[in-house]
Structure 1
């Protein structure tokens, strides 16, 4: 998993898990200011990487894109 698509997917998963933990902890007031800053930094890192990744993609919608925002696997796509 060393393609740019895989790397951005790994960052996305990391942020997903981080936000899941944060949502629980924030709800119980068990998220420190340092954790807040760390989470914000991780989200900023992901946002920057996602913007840079977007610049490498072709313009327009990719095959397999659905109006609901979900994607369907594209035959022959190794990252799917």
Structure 2
């Protein structure tokens, strides 16, 4: 969640994300792979650096999915 919040301000280099979190580079790489694999985050290479940004179209779908879950939960308990 912290990574997504950081990326909400725009594209960031992995080095900048590391500056704002208390994790190691391998840990960041692991988390970024998970976020990229589920399409919540886009990545692009620029030389040896990776730059990350939010995939707003996928996040919009996740938001819709969660709102539908909430609606269904309310229906079940009414």
Bigger proportion of residues as strand? 2
Fold-level similarity (TM above 0.5): no
Normalising by structure 2, report the TM-score.
0.33
The two structures have a TM-score, normalised by structure 1, of 0.33
